[in-house]
Structure 1
Amino acid sequence: MSLLRCLPCLFALTFTASLFAEDLSLTLRYQQQTASDSGRFHQLTRQETWKPEQTAIIVCDMWDLHSCESAVLRGQEFAPRLNDVLTKARQQGVTIIHAPSGCMKYYAEHPARQRAQQTLPATDIPEGITSWCYQIPAEEKGVYPVDQSDGGNDDTPQQHAKWAQEMESRGLNPRSPWTRQTELLTIDPDKDYISDQGDEVWSILAAGKIDNVILAGVHTNMCVLGRPFGLRQLAKNGKNVVLMRDMTDTMYNPKSWPFVSHFTGTDLIVSHIEKFVCPTVTSDQFLGGQPFRFKEDDRPHVVLVMAEDEYETNQTLPEFAAAYLGKDFRVSYAFGSATERNDIPGLAQALESADVVLLSVRRRALPTAQMEALRKFVAAGKPVIGIRTACHAFSLHGEDPPAGTQTWEKFDPEVFGGNYHGHHNNRLISQIEPIAPGKKHPILTGLPRDTFQQQGSLYKTAPLQKEAQVLLTGKIGGQPTEPVAWTFQRANGGRSFFTSLGHTTDFANPSFQRMLLNSVYWAAGVDVPEKFDLTKPTPPQKKI
């Protein structure tokens, strides 16, 4: 009996087995604009339940070799975990499609390849499904986040030359040395499929009545997005497609714009996908435990929380983070709701994996779950940074919070060791002065010891609690000197930093920029750089 004639039996057996399989419970992460055309996004999650028999995983271009040795090594690092995902998913009745592009000749006699070839063509094959897709309409609303025009190879020149020489010694083309999928992934000859063609993959999905698709593999910013079976094609043609964001990698060279670490480059692409293409999931939703993380990815996770209407920090802080934090930190953003004052969507989820939180919030109550997540974060002794209005972030002047929300009236003294009790007139210019030149603190690294002007009103903060160490002071003629920046050792051992600076104009001041940058390194327990280039990177004229 031919394989073609057996296909209906195969799908029948798969369907029968699926009757006894548990549904897949997935947490989909996606991003939604805070308001129309704001350019800012809430990072949100939603729960979905998928039938295994209506689900497929496509493994994209997990080749045995690549022109970039670093890419090969990273692929080999996460491949065992991906294989565990495929094994578990296969057992649950999920269809597995292996798509090592350009390698079909190697698999010509493989049952999984023949199974794909002999699948009857679907009657609804979309137009253009056999071609690369470089952009879908939704992406026109955003800016592509990395420059990959150099191909994204992040090998050193010496490493690249040595690797190319090795490929040549094996009789392979150094620019495209792959011949098959990595042996670290198992292909089940009795169940799986092998195809690199969009119409074939679409027909496999149609034959199995599969609408839910998970993409994993490499490289997210190129093949995973653009292949005929990739995220863009499946999303625009109506499939319920997601990216498994911890089972992927990018071709991004940190020497290219925006000059961030390789892993931050991947984060930026994932964020772009969540905004404009499709949601994402993680491997632990199949295997338990924690999401996969590359061994060299030691970036602390910094969460920037912005919910104030006076100083535009929902714009200045993301610009600051994009310019200066991407080399050494993983950065997430939580913005106040544009429609509900006492809500910061996504805050609780972001705090679950945060190492440092930086707050720019003014007089908000929070939904109970969000406030409990914040209290848990602080109680765990994790570091907190606050700027400007953060000293009265969760105070409503003693008024009762709306139903279902909570305040934290003593947040300032308990978390920052502060004593905010108003501010001087906005028209009065204060002089900001660092502590005595003989005193040193990591947060003051690289700061000139010259006095500078503060444009916003000077906060009244004295006296601080005894555990506070003052770094900057402010002075208005005829008025007492006020602390302007200080560190604080909390009762639970956690460290905090607060500055009453943070006015819109302060972000143009190199002294403020450097101090805020230093405070993130200090809070995260990372050595503060002795030197740091505060020149903002200029994006290329043409982004790919």
Structure 2
Amino acid sequence: MDTTFVKGKRQVSFLAFLLVALSVLFQITVNAQSARSKDKQPLVVFVTGDHEYSGEETLPIIAAELEKNYGMKTIVLKAYPDHNSEKNIPGLEALEQADLAVFYLRWRQLPKDQLAHIEAYLKKGKPVMGFRTSTHAFNFPKGDESEKWNAFGEFALNAPPGWGGAAAHTHYGHKSSTDVTVIPEQAKNPILTGVTTTFHAKSWLYRVLPNYPTKGSQWLLMGKSVNPDKEAIDNPVAWTGTNSFGGKVFMTTLGHPEDFRLEPFQRLIINAVHWELGMKVPKEWKGKMDIQVPYREAK
């Protein structure tokens, strides 16, 4: 028998076995990396409950877009049984695992056990995003043990501490709207990637000046009231900063349902979510979302 031939066959068989083994090992490694990558998907938790701006309808569309095109996991929490329910937002324990909390609230009076989940999140110094009426997210009666939450806008979002009062936080009438302009010094800010330098928003302008946003906040967009019902001054409508817990902040006083139809506003939100999470803002826009949600008069 030709022992050289037999030996050669054994070598070929061994090499074939080795190649198969390496291929299997490679696939196991790829699968493991893929699983780890999925585990590392950031979780964005949206907390909604407002009487007026349909945040519980617009933000789920944003959430779906983040999952479909930007590799994130999302949970959307809503006031129960409907948006006018001021004392119940089930599921706030989801904040324990959240990488970013997004708030669109107005004048809630949540029970202490639910507030505790929000407080625990904030105390971790994790990032926070807020829309419009979140400046006055809570409205507890004077003397209530949870009254401190009325200042949520200030301690969480670098915004005025509630509506009216000494902060003179008000707006310029429901028949007005807002011309929005990128602050020139911020033109290269990654959050403003793809955001047109000017656009028109349906939201009536909120007054936050002269004392807010809080010191150290970075203004991104300025708003000019169109057809105001009183003498108006320009006010910032979007800013970033660090809140009193050390968490990153993105806040915008825009948020009328018709604002969500605008591509510049949509891009602003997607960009800001990435920035809040410490991720690179995507250079490529995945396309405008179809958001057709009605405005409703506040009760």
TM-score, with structure 1 as normaliser: 0.43
Give the aligned residue type for 2:86.
Answer: R
In 2, the alpha carbon distance for the partners of 1:489 and 1:368 equals: 25
Aligned-pair identity (%): 32
Deviation, 1:333, is 1.2
In 2, the alpha carbon distance for the partners of 1:442 and 1:325 equals: 21
Change (3 A) 1:483 1:369: same
In 1, the alpha carbon distance for the partners of 2:75 and 2:29 equals: 23
Residue 314 of structure 1: aligned partner:
56
Which stretches in structure 1 are left out of the alignment for 5+ residues? 1-68, 79-262, 264-293, 538-544
Residue 366 of structure 1: aligned partner:
110
CA-to-partner distance for each residue in 1:208-230, whole Å, 9 max, x for gaps?
A: xxxxxxxxxxxxxxxxxxxxxxx
Residue 462 of structure 1: aligned partner:
209
Deviation, 1:345, is 0.5
In 1, the alpha carbon distance for the partners of 2:187 and 2:30 equals: 48
Change (3 A) 1:369 1:75: farther
Confirm or deny that 1:330 pairs with 2:79. Answer: no
Which stretches in structure 2 are left out of the alignment for 5+ residues? 1-23, 164-168, 291-299
Confirm or deny that 1:303 pairs with 2:45. Answer: yes
In 1, the alpha carbon distance for the partners of 2:245 and 2:142 equals: 28
3-state DSSP class of the match of 2:37?
coil
Contact residue 456 and residue 503 of structure 1 kept, 8 A = yes
In 1, the alpha carbon distance for the partners of 2:188 and 2:281 equals: 13
Contact residue 303 and residue 332 of structure 1 kept, 8 A = yes
In 1, the alpha carbon distance for the partners of 2:77 and 2:124 equals: 20
Q: Select the structure that is richer in helix.
A: 2
Residue 444 of structure 1: aligned partner:
192
Change (3 A) 1:362 1:438: closer
In 2, the alpha carbon distance for the partners of 1:75 and 1:452 equals: 45
Change (3 A) 1:325 1:437: farther
3-state DSSP class of the match of 1:302?
strand
In 1, the alpha carbon distance for the partners of 2:247 and 2:202 equals: 31
3-state DSSP class of the match of 2:135?
helix
Deviation, 1:321, is 1.7
Write out the 4+ residue segments of structure 1 that deviate beyond 3 Å after TM superposition.
72-78, 398-401
Largest Rg, 1 or 2:
1
In 1, the alpha carbon distance for the partners of 2:185 and 2:102 equals: 27
Residue 395 of structure 1: aligned partner:
139
Residue 343 of structure 1: aligned partner:
88
Give the aligned residue type for 1:342.
Answer: K
3-state DSSP class of the match of 2:172?
coil
Contact residue 417 and residue 467 of structure 1 kept, 8 A = no
In 2, the alpha carbon distance for the partners of 1:74 and 1:343 equals: 45
In 2, the alpha carbon distance for the partners of 1:407 and 1:427 equals: 33
3-state DSSP class of the match of 1:476?
strand
In 2, the alpha carbon distance for the partners of 1:492 and 1:319 equals: 29
Deviation, 1:486, is 0.4
Residue 521 of structure 1: aligned partner:
274
In 1, the alpha carbon distance for the partners of 2:225 and 2:31 equals: 61
Give the aligned residue type for 2:217.
Answer: A
Contact residue 484 and residue 501 of structure 1 kept, 8 A = yes
Aligned residue runs from structure 1 range 200-239, under 5 A: none
In 1, the alpha carbon distance for the partners of 2:46 and 2:186 equals: 33
Confirm or deny that 1:504 pairs with 2:253. Answer: no
Change (3 A) 1:325 1:462: farther
CA-to-partner distance for each residue in 1:222-265, whole Å, 9 max, x for gaps?
A: xxxxxxxxxxxxxxxxxxxxxxxxxxxxxxxxxxxxxxxxx9xx
Of 479, 502, 506, which residue of structure 1 is paired with 2:232?
A: 479
Give the aligned residue type for 2:151.
Answer: K
* Equivalent residue pairs, number: 249
TM-score, with structure 2 as normaliser: 0.76
In 1, the alpha carbon distance for the partners of 2:123 and 2:189 equals: 25
Say which structure, 1 or 2, has more relative contact order (CA 8 Å, 6+ apart): 2
Residue 152 of structure 2: aligned partner:
411
In 2, the alpha carbon distance for the partners of 1:330 and 1:417 equals: 26
In 2, the alpha carbon distance for the partners of 1:352 and 1:345 equals: 14
Deviation, 1:492, is 3.0
Give the aligned residue type for 2:56.
Answer: N
Change (3 A) 1:455 1:536: closer
Residue 181 of structure 2: aligned partner:
433
Deviation, 1:308, is 0.8
Deviation, 1:489, is 1.1
Residue 17 of structure 1: aligned partner:
none
Of 200, 204, 217, which residue of structure 2 is paired with 1:453?
A: 200
3-state DSSP class of the match of 1:316?
helix
Change (3 A) 1:442 1:521: same
In 1, the alpha carbon distance for the partners of 2:209 and 2:186 equals: 23
Aligned residue runs from structure 1 range 186-265, under 5 A: none
In 2, the alpha carbon distance for the partners of 1:75 and 1:529 equals: 25
Deviation, 1:440, is 2.6
Deviation, 1:500, is 0.7
In 2, the alpha carbon distance for the partners of 1:535 and 1:373 equals: 34
Give the aligned residue type for 2:123.
Answer: A
In 2, the alpha carbon distance for the partners of 1:468 and 1:455 equals: 25
In 2, the alpha carbon distance for the partners of 1:438 and 1:501 equals: 18
Contact residue 95 and residue 121 of structure 2 kept, 8 A = yes
